Amino acid sequence: MACVHLLSGRELMTESEFAQWWEETGALRDSGACFLDALREELARRMQLGHFRRLSLVREGRRLGRRSAWSNMQPLVAVVRQFAAGAVKKQLGNAAKHGDVGSLMMLLERPSDPNIGGQSSPLHTAAEMGHLQVAMCLVEAGADKDKDSMEGHTPMHRAARSGRVEVVRYLLAIGADQF
């Protein structure tokens, strides 16, 4: 049976773990579903990657796609995709400012660093503007709920100062620092 490693060599799934997973997903494969998608999801779960962080599976130097021929006997390498850079900073900030969940999700799926920002992060902006759904997406993508802005304010401070009660309640519910 195969095993799965990161590029660093760290083993994510031993041969025996892979064999067990292979048996458990037999019905999935029989249904015609893409078992590579299921494997990526399992590996992301094991690595505790957020919904917006993506893995690519590589065999013999080539990325495996949904239609790739593959045998369960071949070892795989899991590659965590790096965050997109540059112009994304402004786009994330604008999506947070305007409450544009659709654009935000597309940017995060590239993937993009949800903590990117100059004076403040997109979560600071979403909290200040009262965009609860945007704040929730950013936190799910790994935004730091307690990050200080250049002025020393957290998203909680911004939401409270702006009277955004729903966002304050959400941040409290997820354990954001109150001070």
pLDDT digit string (tens) for the chain, length 179 residues:
577 877 667 788 888 888 888 788 776 666 555 677 777 778 877 777 765 556 777 776 677 776 666 565 667 777 776 655 666 778 888 899 999 998 888 888 776 788 887 778 999 999 999 999 999 999 988 899 999 888 889 999 999 999 999 999 999 999 998 76
pTM: 0.59
Which pLDDT does position 145 carry in this prediction?
94
- Please, where are the H alpha helices in 130-176? 132-140, 155-161, 165-173
Residue 57 and residue 22 in one domain: yes
Residue 166 and residue 93 in one domain: yes
Which residue range forms the structural domain that includes residue 94?
88-173
Q: Of 80, 110, 145, which closes a domain?
A: 80
Q: Measured in whole angstroms, how far is the alpha carbon of residue 55 from the centre of its chain?
A: 10
Q: Specify whether the CB–CB gap between 24 and 39 falls below 8 A.
A: no
Residue 76 and residue 92 in one domain: no
Q: Of 51, 80, 109, which closes a domain?
A: 80
Residue 73 and residue 96 in one domain: no
Residue 38 and residue 57 in one domain: yes
Q: Of 45, 80, 115, which closes a domain?
A: 80
Which pLDDT does position 123 carry in this prediction?
95
168 found inside a domain: yes
19: left (phi over 0), alpha (psi -120 to 50) or beta: alpha
Domain count, the chain: 2
Rounded Cα distance between 131 and 42, Å, is 31
Residue 70 and residue 9 in one domain: yes
Q: Specify whether the CB–CB gap between 125 and 99 falls below 8 A.
A: no
Residue carrying structure tokens 């590239």: 110
179 found inside a domain: no
Element containing residue 57 per DSSP (H, E): strand 55-59
Question: Which of these, 161, 164, 137, lies nearest to 149 by C-alpha position?
Answer: 161
Residue 35 and residue 70 in one domain: yes
Q: What is the CATH number of the domain that holds 167?
A: 1.25.40.20
Which pLDDT does position 154 carry in this prediction?
94
